[in-house]
Amino acid sequence: MRIGLVGYGRMGRIIRSIAESRGHSVSVIIDPAAVEADFPTLTPESLVDTDGIIEFSLPGPNGEWVAKNVQVYAETGARVVLGTTGWDEHRDLILAPLAHTTGAFLYGSNFSLGANMLFRLTAQAAKMIETIDSYDIMVHEYHHSQKKDSPSGTAFTLGTEILKNNRRKKVIVGDSLRNRPIRPEELHVSSTRGGHIPGIHTVTLDSEADSLNISHTARSREGFALGAVLGLEWVAQKNGVFTTDDFFSTLFAH
């Protein structure tokens, strides 16, 4: 495929390397700052020489930049993998233009194969302790100091999986509890920022008797890049809007 890259920071460069190692070519780079960029911003004209797009960029205030790009994707019928996070609160509004797209759009908070295994293990664990009141469950993540969103999109996805599979938890608390104890129905999703950590996500099941941790540690960004390229290969012959859950459910089934 001729792949267009929207966002050419560290992830964009690794995606290019992975894509080329799998026989694809990068035909267009779209980035407002990169010296290698062919276009500073996404326009219909910038997508002419592409078969598919992989975007890892910044969401903008209230997801404004993602929303503008999605509008272009909808208008052009592009096939897109979107790995940008930090816009989920406005998801329905941002994705609305894709309702009748002739292209395909695959999005998610994390394209790492290992992290998506973690999502499935977390769902199962949350279900297992649903009727065992002695166990509580919580999420914590670490990321490098330059990450923009906190907690991460992946952490919130883990929280959502817990809420879907454990009726004792009703709401995610993603910030400081500010001098109050957590309520039994609240799920604490917390974060730490510093250093150069690509990403560590841990789900803890804790009781007075023992504690169990389910953890995913990203050693590098290559795992995320490979998942994104595999995702574009998967979506290349499809139409509609898909989540990483759709993609990885098919991948893991094999």
Q: Residue 234: which CATH number?
A: 3.40.50.720
Question: Tell me, what CATH number does 171's domain have?
Answer: 3.30.360.10
Query: Phi and psi (nearest 5°) for 39?
Result: -140, 145
Domain shared by 151 and 175, yes or no: yes
Q: What's the pTM value of the predicted model, to 2 decimals? A: 0.81
Indicate if 143 belongs to the active site: yes
Domain shared by 134 and 173, yes or no: yes
Query: Phi and psi (nearest 5°) for 206?
Result: -130, 135
Domain shared by 175 and 248, yes or no: no
pLDDT of residue 86: 84
pLDDT of residue 53: 98
Q: Is the pLDDT of residue 190 over 90?
A: yes
Find the mean pLDDT for residues 224-249: 95
Domain shared by 225 and 212, yes or no: no
pLDDT of residue 177: 86
User: Which DSSP string do the residues of 171-196 spell out, in sequence order?
Assistant: EEE-S---SSPPPTTEEEEEEEE-TT
21-46 pLDDT, tens digit per residue, is: 999 999 999 999 999 999 999 999 99
Domain shared by 8 and 106, yes or no: yes
Q: How many domains does the chain have?
A: 2
Q: Is the pLDDT of residue 215 over 60?
A: yes
Residue 180 structure tokens: 């109050």
Domain shared by 53 and 94, yes or no: yes
- Give the confidence band of 209 by pLDDT, cuts at 50, 70, 90: very high
Residue type, 35: V
Q: Is the pLDDT of residue 220 over 90?
A: no
Catalytic residue among 24, 140, 147, 169: 147
Domain shared by 8 and 107, yes or no: yes
Q: Whole-angstrom Cα distance, residue 140 to residue 162?
A: 13
- Judge whether 168 and 115 are in contact, CB under 8 Å: no
Domain shared by 122 and 181, yes or no: yes
pLDDT of residue 85: 86
Residue 75 structure tokens: 């208008």
Residue 64, domain extent = 2-111+221-253
Q: Which of 42-51, 69-78, 145-154, 165-174 has the lowest mean pLDDT?
A: 145-154
Find the mean pLDDT for residues 203-231: 95
User: Mean pLDDT over all residues of the chain?
Assistant: 94
Find the mean pLDDT for residues 126-154: 94
- Judge whether 137 and 203 are in contact, CB under 8 Å: yes
Indicate if 68 belongs to the active site: no
Q: Is the pLDDT of residue 254 over 70?
A: no
Domain shared by 232 and 107, yes or no: yes
Domain shared by 126 and 105, yes or no: no
Catalytic residue among 24, 90, 100, 143: 143
Domain shared by 6 and 107, yes or no: yes
Domain shared by 154 and 207, yes or no: yes
Q: Is the pLDDT of residue 4 over 70?
A: yes
Q: Is the pLDDT of residue 251 over 90?
A: no
Find the mean pLDDT for residues 224-233: 96
Closest by CA to 158, choosing from 111, 120, 207, is 120
Closest by CA to 106, choosing from 251, 229, 231, is 231
- Chain position carrying tokens 């994707």: 73
